Amino acid sequence: MKCDNIPTLFLAVLLGLEAASGSLVCQQSKPTVRHHRVEETVPDDTSSPEIDQAETAMQKGDFAAAEALLQKAIAAKPGNYRAWFDLGYVYNATQRTPEAIDAYRKAVTAKADVFESNLNLGLLLAKQNDTEEAARYLKSATQLKPAANPEQGLTRAWMALGQLEQGSDPQFAIVAYGQAAKLSPKDAAPHLAAAGLLQVQKNWDAAVLEYRAAAEADPASKDALLGVASTYIQQKKYSDAEATLRKLLADDPQNTQAHLQLGRVLAVQGKNEEAAHELQAGQPDKAADPHAALELGTLYVRAGKDAEAERQFRLALEKLPRDADAHFSLGSVLMHEKKYPEAQQELLIAIRLKPDLADAYGNLAVVAAENKNYPITLQALDDRAKYLPEIPATYFLRATTFDELKAVRQAVENYQKFLAVDGGKAPDQEWQARHRLIALDPQHADKYRVKK
């Protein structure tokens, strides 16, 4: 491949920095190293025997030899941008980022209009979180011509600039992604990046348009349809999201992320059986996604399938041992299964990990009472009251707990509070409360009897 105005060995180096740092400045297979004469349009001072030998050594991975040769070339001609550029590559390849940045600065100072020098310097500064200066060099790169594959090179520059600016200037970042999209119309990445930013801004319609543009650019892009679906979900357009995800799964039935998203959408719509099926399909491996296991367990709880729910919560905890909500979910389903000692243990862990998990205190109070751990019951009820208002059930549980502890005054007080607020919602408990009050406070027995 011939690249205008750049010697072949120099071009090989231009193409090398991004390979060393994880991506490509311009995509091509490794060049065959040939010794061509320098083209006439290249200034005579850009080449020397030392630079040619250094670039050959670089192609062989002999960076120590290359560095020594380049230092010799720079000593002879300190303003040779090509030597500084090559040295920047050597430093980057040998994990010496500050030195690489300094070398690329000198390359740009020596010759400011080289696209690759500006791009590579901008990328390295961005890696060092020097965003303001990185943006300056990346912007310069977008106005220059790459040595080879100009569309790909400029796309890379605009994408890097968009990624750099999206936190501080999201509108400019969207413009940068738009420029990248124009340069690479068959690349979905610029549209996906813009769509993600538009989602954050809650510009739903524009986000959907970008996701659809990504799908047109790359019909094989699964991220595009997943993005459309996620935008619909954020808008609570669940039927549209469901239709999009089903379309995706028709083409890609093994897409676990689509199964998970569809399961969540179906769950929101109350389609619990279908939702459970999709969530299960979304985690074919044992506890592959612990959060999906938690969601699936919750669906099983809603369907009254406590054993299946317990299994999913335990799978989730294998990967989330310090997740308070996972311990709470397991403790709660164990409570439903009347496995009270285990339930108490899980709920205590949940509270220890997350002391403000208010609902856990109520469940802990219930299971502790079943375990006859009455001091824990009363403490849990007191802790719950710090976060949530009292309800008939908490008054009744306090009353029965004090009753068990033979604390008559407190039992009577809480039975009375229960009757005052329940309003006939729990008739069996009201009957029990009245009969216990008659037994505990016989002098006021007539007050507790139901008038016929």
Q: Encode pLDDT of 260-315 as tens digits.
A: 889 889 988 988 888 888 877 877 665 568 888 888 888 888 878 899 899 999 99
Reported as a single tens digit per residue, the pLDDT across 351-368 is 999 999 999 999 999 999
DSSP secondary-structure letter at 42?
Answer: S
- If asked whether residues 425 and 340 sit together in one domain, one would say no
| 35 and 143 fall within a common domain | yes
Structural domain range at position 417: 389-452
Domain boundary among 113, 148, 183: 148
Q: What pLDDT sits at residue 276?
A: 83
Contact status, residue 132 vs residue 140, Cβ threshold 8 Å: no
pLDDT at 348 over 90: yes
Whether residues 72 and 1 share a domain: the answer is yes
Question: Which of 148, 181, 210 marks a domain boundary?
Answer: 148
The predicted model scores a pTM of 0.60
Q: Is residue 297 part of a domain?
A: no
Considering the domain architecture, whether residues 6 and 28 belong to the same structural domain is answered as: yes
263 belongs to a structural domain: no
Residue 38 scores a pLDDT above 80: no
Q: Are residues 46 and 18 in the same domain?
A: yes
Q: Are the C-beta atoms of 353 and 322 separated by less than 8 Å?
A: yes
Q: Are residues 366 and 397 in the same domain?
A: no
**Average pLDDT across the chain, whole number:** 86
Question: How remote is the C-alpha of 364 from its chain's centroid?
Answer: 32
Looking at the structure of the chain, the number of domains it has is 3
Alpha helices in 354-407 (DSSP H): 358-370, 374-385, 392-404
Question: Are 452 and 355 members of one domain?
Answer: no
Which structure tokens are listed for 133? 């200066």
Asked if residue 248 lies in contact with residue 222, where contact means CB atoms within 8 angstroms, the answer is: yes
Does residue 159 register a pLDDT over 90?
yes
CATH number at residue 360: 1.25.40.10
**In this structure, what DSSP letter does residue 44 have?**
G
Task: Select from 113, 132, 148 the last residue of a domain.
Answer: 148
Same domain for 452 and 339, yes or no, is no
Residues 91 and 135 placed together within one structural domain of the fold = yes
